[in-house]
């Protein structure tokens, strides 16, 4: 029973993170809307199941990257509000992670639509 109690708590904490990020991060809300459009197109267009799965999974990956980026930014800002090159590097790397995930999703769409 301990396993299920801890699983329930992990789900609650994870959902709290999604809700908090939705409320505070414009970028996350923008990616959610972009993914709703992408998912709708993936489900409407005549795509193979594997193509649909790839598009949906990469969209979710972009959201995961944005959540991790928010965590990095929040942790850095909590530690200090002063400008520091290492803090900038951490924030820029988090942002780059989102960009790389988004590029992967875009490349998948291009390959699927051209192929």
pTM: 0.92
- 93 in a structural domain: yes
In a domain, 20, yes or no: no
Range of the domain at 98: 26-114
* Number of folded domains that form the chain: 1
**Is 25 noted as a catalytic residue in this protein?**
no
Q: Answer yes or no: is 101 within a domain.
A: yes
Q: What DSSP line would sit under 27-55, residue for residue?
A: HHHHHHHHHHHHHHHHHHS---HHHHHHH
CATH of the domain at 77: 1.10.287.3610
Q: Which residues contact 36 (CB under 8 A, 6 or more apart)?
A: none
Q: Is residue 14 part of a domain?
A: no
In a domain, 43, yes or no: yes
Average confidence (pLDDT) over 49-71 = 98
Averaged pLDDT, 23-32: 98
Among 2, 66, 73, 82, the one annotated catalytic = 66
Rounded mean pLDDT of the chain?
97
Provide the pLDDT confidence category of residue 115 given band limits of 50, 70 and 90. confident
């Amino acid at each position: 029973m301990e396993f299920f109690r801890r699983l329930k708590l992990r789900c609650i904490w994870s959902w709290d993170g999604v809700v908090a990020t939705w409320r505070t991060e414009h970028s996350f809300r923008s990616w959610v809307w972009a993914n709703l459009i992408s998912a709708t197109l993936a489900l409407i267009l005549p795509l193979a199941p594997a193509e649909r799965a790839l598009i949906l999974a990469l969209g979710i990956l972009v959201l995961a990257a944005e959540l991790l980026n928010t965590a990095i930014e929040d942790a850095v800002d909590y530690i200090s509000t002063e400008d520091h090159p290492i803090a900038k590097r951490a924030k820029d790397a988090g942002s780059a992670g989102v960009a790389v995930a988004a590029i992967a999703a875009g490349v998948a769409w291009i390959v699927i639509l051209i192929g």
